[in-house]
Structure 1
Amino acid sequence: MADDFEKAVLLSFDQTGAVERGLKEQAVAFCNNVKIQQGSWRLFLERFRSSGFLEVKFWCLQALQEFVDSQFGILATDDRNVIKSSIMGWVQSSDISQQPAFLRNKLSQLTAAVIRLEYPDGWPSCFSDLISAAQRGRSAVDIFCRIMLAIDSDVITLEIPRSSEGNRMSMQLKDAMRDHCIGDIAEAWYQLASTYSLEDPDTAGMVLKTVQRYIGWIDIGLVANDRFIHLLYSLLSSTNSDLQEAAVECLTEVLVKGMDPLGKLELIQKLRLVACCAQWSGGLPGAEGDELQVKSARLLAALAQEVLECWKQVKNRLVSFKAVGLNFDKELAKEAAAAVATCEGIVDELFPAVMTVLQNDDETVSMTIVPFLTAYVTKLKAEQKRSATVSDNASNHLKRTLDGMLKCASYPSDSAILEQNGGTEVEMAAIKEEQEAVEDRRRDLLTLFKNIARVMMSPTVQFVDSRLGATLCNPESTFQDVELVLTLLHELGEAASDEVAKQGCGALGPLVLKVVRSTVPHASHSLVALAVLEILVRYSRVMQQHQDVLPSAVANFIDGRGMRNSSEVSVRACYLFMRFIKALRSNLRPLTASLLTSLEPFLKHVAQTPQFDGMLVGGTRQQGAAPPSTVSTDDRMCVFEAVGLLIGPEDVPSDRQRELVVAVLEPLMRQIEGCLGVGAQQPTSVALVQQALEGISRLSKGFKQELATNHRPEIGQLFVQAFDEALLIPQTFPDSKSLRARFISFVHRMVETIGTLTLPYLPMTLQVLMHQNSDTRDTCDVLALVNQLINRFRGSLSELLLKALPAIQAEVHGKLTPEWDWSGQHAQPARSGAPANGLSPVLMEEYRERGELQRMYYGLLHALVHQGPLDVLLQIPQSCLEAMLTALAQGAATHVDPSVRRTCVHALGTLVREWGDRINADQGFKQFILDRVGGDACIRGVLQGGLDPKDAATVSFLEEVAACLRAVHEKCGYEFLARLSLILPSMGMPHDIQQQFISQIQQTDTKQLKNYLKSTLQKLTQVAR
């Protein structure tokens, strides 16, 4: 019957949920209290021996291990000996075999923990005792192996990150074992593996698994000797697969042990592995799907890789010596040449087996050999650069590799991807998983393919051509075969040199034409359809030389093989069609009318079926200004961009162009008008308006501003009408964030397309965007838009900015409340070094958004100073100007990001230079320049710390500070120097350094002053440390 201690341990282990939470917590607290009692380790020893509960025994071993790790070193020698003798007694006890594996593992970990601390000085006999105990039978061998494995995993292995102390103890134990016992341990391994290989293969296999873990750091001769290798080879033919696998793994570890290349080559020959592995050309050991096949493949891959590495190292030595004009000793040169020849011969001998592995049905097996093949081809590329040739044997190997990789790179014959996409959620998940697995496998295989092509382009082109012809002409070809050969053709374009890939007359042109002119089997299958479209885009210039195939090429995009295919293919087809049109729009001019007729139903379908699902198939988010918040993308809209590219060029007759634009614009405008009429009453209205607005934006990309405003203003007027209509959108749907974002993107686009024609509509644009319910992100979007307008229109914006700036200033300062920390510490706690103590994710995100608003505010003010009508600042209310200048000064002096400070200082320095004449006339402005710009931003802000002089952004900031200091001195002269004589002492600067600082400002140029500031900052940083 359990006593209180045992009951507490049992309760603490309960996983059934039957024990009340409070009772379990009491039990855990009771057990933890036992651990800290004086002499508790004696209780652990006694209860492990006496308790009949496995949970109690496990708890005692765990507690004892914790005690050993933390307090063993402070015990008296006699007490440590008691623990060691108890542990060894348990290990040697016959009862241990009756205990479950988890208890034996825990005992092994405890033993390893004590050995780590005590061997060799405190427990010199531990390993000899363990070896002696292992002679007592299977259960003794089992615990011996578990202890050796625990020593490796808990103390020795480098695969687990350890502290510096842990690494020191690991090295110390390894050194001690090398000096005192590893030879005896290796002899025990051999004897045990030999003894049990027939009578108990599982026990022999466990011994070999232990050996495998130690080969990496012990003397290789302890294992790579005649009798141990003979034993391993004999075990390869064992009827026990676990024992076979263990023998293979031991040979692999011996093989990959680091050593000199000539020594490694000698070891490989001694192991007789080449002949062993070469015979696997007829098939790997074990049945299909067995782990033995995987491990045998790894052994072959390791052998081939090691031979190749020896080859490379010896060859590189010869090349390096010749490059520096040194001569090898004749005998050494002869030895090196013989080694190179031996390596080359071994690779030749192994290659049939390598191909067998590559073509194995199990990808776990086949992919093991790919790293070797990649390294082999890389070596051939390097040799080709030196000698411009590749041997006949190597060329044959590469040709066989091309054949061999086809099976490995193909979609499986039982693929879940059907001819027509679609299905249940489970089926679609299976399809996605399969595609990801194939793409992951192909990543290395296609790299290998392209590297082979770079070594021998002509044979690779012939290989693809042959496969292409056989596949396209065979109506029985599977979709897997068709998709793969098309993928190879597509990838070949990436590998080809400019001359080979010369479109139309190069070696690849005929292959592309073969695809376009053929009836491709399974052409509507999603994978095949996409592969064809990718080829047409990559090799679009082929069609420039062979315009007779253009109708056939275009049809692939428009019919059931492209846009009218499944949703996945349709979306990608729209993006690829846009790229295809962009490359060939002048060549496609004769087909424009028929193209637009064919596209009309699809354009209508896309406009009326919004699909905002986050697809970014072509990465087609609008370029230019920062993307407004919550903008989603439907890549089918690329078809509108393609239409714009077709009808937008100036060589389209003006009347015809206007007719075509109207034909595309009018349905979109009617869709917007209809939705505006019903407003938010119709749930789909927002999405339909977004889709139509995006369609107009995409269409406009095909028209240059010069054409739309000067050459053919009637085209510009069509987009002006669209802009006029669009102004009603944010008023009708004021609460829709996504629609607001789409409208802002539309305005950005119209500014690029119709330029100054937008000016009359911009006041209303800003008015509808800066409504009372706007949040921080909304205001950021407005600032980005105004920034673009300033950069685009400059002086033309005076009247607009005169009205807008006070409202913008009030909006920004309303969101950056008086409590806001303008140093940016809340927005960027990581950069400032300040922890985000207890802040909720919501509050942290709010701070981040406000920090972004502050940055964009500075960006707007900087643009206004450098690009805009500067005089506008003198016409806005004084309070507004003061708030803006104060914000700039705060950012310049305190912001944690030096790039933000640089922006602020740059703007302030420009104002000093541009408004210098006002300094004497306006005493308030002069005081601002002296105190806030020259004093706070340029002196205190630099010298008060927090800047890293090694950071490139800091150096750039210091350059602006130097320029600003020069400007302030130029405009304020003696008054600034007098102010410095007050500021510098207040910062604790020694008098001589003060004089030097002032002298630098007076007498040096900007570059010299920057260097002086950097040097001063470095000295301050060193002092602070």
Structure 2
Amino acid sequence: MAYFEQLKESQDAWEVCAEALAKGIYNDDHVKFFCFQVLEHQIKYRHAGLSAVQQQLIRETLMKWLQCQLMNSQPEKPFIRNKAAQVFALTFVMEYVTLWPKFFFDILSLVGLNPHGVDIYLRTLMAIDAEVVDRDILHSPETRRNTLIKDTMREQCIPNLVESWFQILQAYQQSHPELTCQCLEVVGAYVSWIDLNLIANDRFVNLLLSHMSVEELREEACDCLFEIVNKGMDPVDKTKLVESLCQVLQSAGFFNVEQEEDVDFLAKFSRLVNGMGQSLVLSWTKLVKAGNVKVAADTLQAVEAKVPLLLQLLVHEDDDISANIVGFCYDYLHVLKQLPQLTDQQKANIEAIMLAVMKKLTYDDEYNFENEGEDEAMFVEYRKQLKMLLDRLAQVSPELLLEAVRRVFTNTMQNWQTALFMEVEVAIRLLYMLGEALPASHGAHFSGDTAKTSALQDMMRTLVSCGVSGYQHTSVSLEFFETVVRYDKFFIVEPQHIPNVLMAFLDQRGLRHSSPKVRSRVAYLFSRFVKTLFELNSADPVLISFITSISDFQENGFPALLTSDDQLFMFETAGVLIVNGESPAERKQALMRSLLTPLMDAFRLLLAKLPQETEEERQAALADCLSHAVGFASRTSKAFSNKQTVKQCGCTEVYRDCLQAFLPALSCPVQRGPLRSSVRSFLHRMIICLEEEVLPFIPAASEHMLKDCEAKDLQEFIPLISQITAKFKRQVSPFLQQVFMPLVLAIFEVLARPAEDNDQAAALEKQMLRRSYFCFIQTIASSGMNEVMANQGAENIERVVFTIIQGAVDFPDPIAQKTCFIILSKLVELWGGKDGMVGFPDFIYKHIVPACFLAPLKPTFDLTDAQTVLTLSECALTLKIIHLKRGPEFIQFLQQEYLPSLQVSPEIAQELCQVLQQPDVKVLKTYIKVRADERDSSLILKNVILCHVPPSCYEGQ
């Protein structure tokens, strides 16, 4: 392979390959294939650099190779023929217009009607189509070239090519059907841009129709006719073409769909009818827009005449055949929607389409509900197309659709006990689909015009009271619950049905169903249903009694019945029921305790077992159970709101008990990662819900979480401390003063640990930890708790602030750099004034000011990056705040000490200082941005960096 790659790159090795191909030196297929690849590379990338003699050599090579094919008794392997066709096509693209205008004539005169030669000729035409025409391939850079090639072909050779296709189709339809199919594909590909009259004439169409009766050719002939019909044309001409084609197909008996047993052919035929129908609709649309009423009426009549055939294909038992006609059906309904009035026939057509859609929505016996594969996925996609039709039907005639669905639904529900599952499922499915298909004014809210809402209300009443929720099939069970939740507003009008529906959710029809798929979905739907009832103020006090049922679930088989994710929904639902119920606070507290106590008991029991386990797999399983228990308790707290707080519901003590039960897990010696993660998440929730009641638990939790921690542990712990800081501010100041340095030292220790040079995961973890650390310092600095850092001792403060300087300058991470400059601005604001921290002004001049100049000088400071531009802006703001705090002293320092030390000229220094003294900080930001954009790799001006470079490097520039 390496040798062959060298051949490709070599200047003259292609000539060796050309000779090998022309003389047929090698018999090995792979060698022949590679020789073509080398030739292809030469033509594609070096053609313009070849001499006229070399270009002639390529042409001769291809023609000699083609001549060899005519004499061979056996054709080359298909992959070699395809590669050869590609090389022919590339040569054509490069040379046809200028160097080889007789390309097709040369090939045709050589090939004649030799089957091997015809095969190469047809493959070459398809390869040319891929290079020049195919709309699925991006050709934008060569658009002008391709247009020129097509124009030249139309002028010089298209009639000859069409004649050759006719000869091939005629000569080989019986002896070589594969060549005939290839030729039909070529005609289909080229018809979009050549003169249609060359193809759409009696002799050609008759030939194509004769192919429609030959089993091996009919599918390809159908595709070819489809491409002819799809050609862009004047609407009147298009209608004539389609109508004449339809007439011939009908006369030949192709419209008798019921008698055709070949489903593959019918799928192609259905696509052809779809193309003809959509073409007629498009013609009608154009004619209506142009105001051509008479011809538009004739075209609409032509469309209507195809509807019986459309219906036969739409209702066909094979879904592929049906799916291929959906486009025409959709467009036809769109036409009806635009008509001022519908005829009886059109109404009958609408009804027939409705019945067809309802029939086709039905599952078949072979659908595998337990193990859905590719066939099932295809049916789901097909159902989505049918739903589009149903939505369009609702737009055309909502009354007809409502009545049709009502009829089907009512008949099925009357006999659901004896009906097949697919009939019951589709009846409920249709009711569900009406919710999206009908606009809100047609009853989606069960209010307004009674004539329109009563049908939906009747159907919902029937659904929840006829007992169909007990039907023993997963698809029916799922559809029942989905529909109940879709039409939750029905229960405002008829709340008396709520208890029965809730029982269905909770018993063996729902959460205790034998199918895990049903149980899982019902857990989610039940959660939605309960929330909606409370939102609508329609929750009967009877709801609270269902907490007992949920607690019973938890103790007697919940884990076996529902996955942990499903149980999350159940606990959230239980929380919603308790919190939003009308019970007094004492009752709510008792209910919440009855819900959470089993979790706490189980947690303590499993936590005691965990350290005694020796098998890692068993340890992981126990840790998983413990994490889930914490997650369930956490999820119940989602029910609280500003209107219904934990305190108002009397539940503070219950959640404090949870904290006491869960926090010991932080010191568990095994499975620390998952346990810490779940308890930390619970703490986040409690900070939101419990307010200051959570504060006594934070110190001990922090102490545990800071022991033996990894980068990831710290990174996840910092947001918790930041959340407490931001929420409680001064209330947690003593605690923060105490925890500040242990946390900072733990971070320093982890960041200082050595790592492998190429360990990208470790490097990323450290980068994220560094960012989290800077965010933590920013939170402290920004929350007005000056004392937290100020009371850490001079040495510690200096150490921390040095890390901020380092973050601002040394690490090529613009997100962290931006945060560091925000911190530096804040510290200057806090400590940089006349009554600030002792010694801090010196620190400003020695370290913060240089950082503002050095950071943008770094080669990694990339001003094309948006985050870096924001960093530059914060850098400018830091300089501005230093000036606000130190006044003329700072200007004097820049002019007399710092800028001269960088050998910046007095003029430049003065310019900067003038900008610094402008009241509007935007002036400084703009100035620095402009100067930074001008830099080679400097900030204030090129002078800043030039002063570090020997004069010889820039003299005269």
What TM-score range do you get, normalising by the shorter chain? Answer: 0.7 to 0.9
User: Does residue 970 of structure 1 match 2:884?
Assistant: yes
Pairing partner for 1:304 from 274, 277, 283: 277
Partners of 1:390 and 1:1019 lie apart in 2 by: 71
Structure 2 partner of 1:634: 565
**Separation (CA, whole Å) in 2 of partners of 1:400 and 1:1000:** 79
Match of 1:358 in 2: 314
Q: CA RMSD in A?
A: 4.1
Paired with 1:414 and 1:220, the residues of 2 have a C-alpha distance of 46
Asked if 1 retains the 8 angstrom alpha-carbon contact of 2:408 and 2:427, the reply is: yes
State the partner residue of 1:696.
Answer: 633
CA contact (8 A) 1:705 1:755 kept: no
Q: Does 1:603 align with 2:554?
A: yes
The match for 1:20 is none
Mapped to 1, the partners of 2:508 and 2:430 lie a distance apart of 23
Q: CA deviation at 1:593?
A: 5.2
Matched, 1:440 2:415: no
1:243 and 2:217 are equivalent in the alignment? yes
Are residue 885 (structure 1) and residue 822 (structure 2) matched? no
Match of 1:193 in 2: 169
Work out which of the residue numbers 178, 185, 191 in structure 2 matches 1:209: 185
1:581-620 alignment to 2 at 5 Å?
A: 581-585=530-534, 587-592=538-543, 594-605=545-556, 608-609=559-560
Counterparts in 2 of 1:401 and 1:280: CA distance versus 1, 3 Å: farther
Distance in 2, matches of 1:274 and 1:797, equals 89
Using the alignment, how far apart are the partners of 2:665 and 2:61 within structure 1?
Answer: 84
| Structure 1 CA distance for aligned equivalents of residues 784 and 561 of structure 2 | 39
- Tell which deviates more after alignment, 461-470 or 723-732: 461-470
1:249-293: CA deviation from partner (whole Å, max 9, x where unpaired): 222222223355566456545655797599866428953422x22
Instruction: Work out whether 1:644 is the aligned partner of 2:575.
Output: yes
| Equivalent in the alignment of 2:461 | 513
1:323-338 alignment, distance < 5 Å: 334-335=291-292, 337-338=293-294
TM-score w.r.t. the length of structure 1 is 0.80
Distance in 2 between residues matched to 1:985 and 1:769, nearest whole Å: 50
The one-letter code sitting in structure 2 at the alignment partner of 1:865 is A
Measure the CA separation in 2 of the matches of 1:197 and 1:707: 81
Report the counterpart of residue 419 of structure 2 in structure 1. 477
Gap change, CA 1:241 and 1:278, over 3 Å in 2? closer
Distance 1:516 1:87, change over 3 A: same
Q: For 1:866, which of 779, 782, 786 is the aligned residue?
A: 782
Checking the alignment, whether the CA contact within 8 Å between 2:831 and 2:840 is kept in structure 1 is no
- 2:396 corresponds to 1:461: no
The one-letter code of the counterpart of 1:590 is P
For residues 661 and 550 of structure 1, what CA distance do their matches in structure 2 show?
23
Q: Quick check: 34-43 or 506-515, which moved more?
A: 34-43
**Kept after mapping to 2: 8 A contact 1:265/1:307:** yes
- Structure 1 equivalent of residue 950 of structure 2: none
Q: Shift of residue 440 of structure 1?
A: 2.8
Judged with a 3 Å threshold, the aligned counterparts in structure 2 of structure 1 residues 213 and 504 are, in CA distance, closer, same or farther, namely closer
Q: Which residue of 2 aligns with 1:486?
A: 428
> What corresponds to 1:174 in structure 2?
150
Does structure 1 conserve the Cα–Cα contact (< 8 Å) formed by 2:22 and 2:62? no
Q: Does 1:414 align with 2:387?
A: no
| CA displacement, residues 35-85 of structure 1 (integer Å, 9 cap, x when unaligned) | 96585146404651x556656655555555555556666666556546544
State whether residues 810 and 855 of structure 2, in contact with CA within 8 Å, keep that contact through their aligned partners in structure 1.
no
- Post-superposition Cα deviations, 1:133-181, rounded to whole Å, max 9, x if no partner, equal 44344444333323323333456545345694x6666555434423322
Instruction: Confirm whether residue 1003 of structure 1 aligns to residue 950 of structure 2.
Output: no
Aligned CA distance change for structure 1 residues 62 and 705 (closer, same or farther; 3 Å): closer
Out of 926, 941, 947, which is 2:841 matched to?
926
1:5 paired residue number: none
**Percent of aligned pairs sharing the same letter:** 26
On the 8 A contact 1:592/1:646 being kept in 2, the answer is yes
Long gaps (5+) in structure 2: 943-957
Partner of residue 527 from structure 1, selected from 471, 475, 493: 475
Corresponding position: 1:91 with 2:66: yes
Q: Give SS of 1:499's match.
A: helix
Native 8 Å contact 1:357 1:369 kept in 2? yes
CA separation in 2, counterparts of 1:408 and 1:997? 77
Asked if the contact 2:852/2:879 (under 8 Å) is kept, the reply is: no
Q: Distance in 2 between matches of 1:447 and 1:990?
A: 73
Which residue of 657, 671, 674 maps to 1:721? 657
Picking from 851, 866, 887, the partner of 1:936 is 851
How many Å separate the matches in 2 of 1:596 and 1:33? Answer: 77
- Name structure 1 gaps, 5 residues minimum: 1-11, 13-24, 319-332, 422-427, 613-632, 821-837
- Residues 589, 163 of structure 1: CA spacing in aligned structure 2 closer, same or farther, 3 A cutoff? closer
Asked if 1:449 corresponds to 2:405, the answer is no
Instruction: Look up the equivalent residue of 2:715 and give its one-letter code.
Output: C
Query: How far does residue 206 in structure 1 lie from its aligned partner after superposition?
Result: 2.7
The separation in 2 between residues aligned to 1:960 and 1:779, in whole angstroms, is 27
Shift in Å, 1:640:
1.5
Match of 1:686 among 623, 644, 648: 623
Q: CA deviation at 1:213?
A: 2.1
Secondary structure in structure 2 of the residue aligned to 1:634: helix
Provide the secondary structure at the position in 2 that maps to 1:792: helix
Verify the 8 A CA contact 2:469 2:504 in the aligned structure 1: no
Rounded to whole Å, the distance in 2 between the matches of 1:812 and 1:246 is 70
**Residue 751 of structure 2 corresponds to residue 816 of structure 1:** yes
CA contact (8 A) 1:504 1:543 kept: no
Q: Aligned letter for 2:492? A: Q
Partner SS state of residue 721, structure 2: helix
Q: CA deviation at 1:1016?
A: 5.4
Indicate which of 517, 525, 529 corresponds to 1:568: 517
1:232 aligns with 2:147: no
What is the TM-score normalised by the length of structure 2? 0.85
Q: Deviations over 1:284-333 (max 9, x none)?
A: 8953422x222222222222333333444555xx4xxxxxxxxxxxxxx5
Hey, what's the Cα distance between the residues in 2 that align with 1:501 and 1:314? 37
Whichever residue aligns with residue 469 of structure 1, its letter is T
Other-structure match for 2:955: none
* Farther-moved stretch of structure 1 (179-188 vs 69-78): 69-78
For the 8 Å contact 2:579–2:649, the answer to whether it is kept is no
Corresponding pairs, count: 921
Over 3 Å counting, the alpha-carbon distance change for 1:502 and 1:88 in structure 2 is closer
Q: Secondary structure at the match of 1:505?
A: coil
d(CA) in 1 for partners of 2:938 and 2:822?
Answer: 29
Relative distance call for 1:748 and 1:845 in structure 2 (3 A) is same
Instruction: Please give the residue correspondences for 1:282-301 in structure 2 after superposition, counting only pairs within 5 Å.
Output: 282-283=256-257, 286-290=260-264, 292-301=265-274
- C-alpha change, 1:750 and 1:273, in structure 2 (3 Å) is farther
Q: Could you say if the C-alpha distance between residues 1022 and 778 of structure 1 is closer, same or farther in structure 2, counting changes exceeding 3 Å?
A: closer
Distance in 1 (CA, whole Å) between partners of 2:382 and 2:96 is 47
Aligned equivalents of 2:487 and 2:898: distance in 1? 68
Q: Tell me if structure 1 keeps the 8 A contact 2:263–2:318.
A: yes
Q: Residue by residue, what CA displacement relative to the aligned partner does 1:722-764 show, whole Å, maximum 9, x if unpaired? A: 2112111122354332222111112122222322111111101
1:964–1:414: structure 2 CA closer, same or farther, 3 Å change rule?
Answer: same
Structure 1 range deviating more: 806-815 or 198-207: 198-207
Please name the residue that 1:741 is paired with.
677
- Partner of 2:192: helix, strand, or coil? coil
Kindly provide the CA deviation profile for residues 401-447 of structure 1, in whole angstroms up to 9, marking residues without a partner as x: 33322344333332222xxx5xxxxxx3xx25454333333333334
CA apart distance, 1:487 = 3.2
SS of the aligned residue for 2:510 comes to: coil
Alignment of 1:735-884 (within 5 A): 735-772=671-708, 774-817=709-752, 843-867=759-783, 869-884=785-800
Residues 1:689 and 1:1022: Cα distance change in structure 2 (over 3 Å)? closer
SS in structure 1 of the partner of residue 639 of structure 2: coil
Greater mean alpha carbon deviation, residues 845-854 or residues 587-596: 587-596
Q: CA deviation at 1:870?
A: 3.6
Partner of 1:3: none
Distance verdict in 2 for CA 1:728–1:114, change over 3 Å: same
- Give the letter for the 2:769 counterpart: L
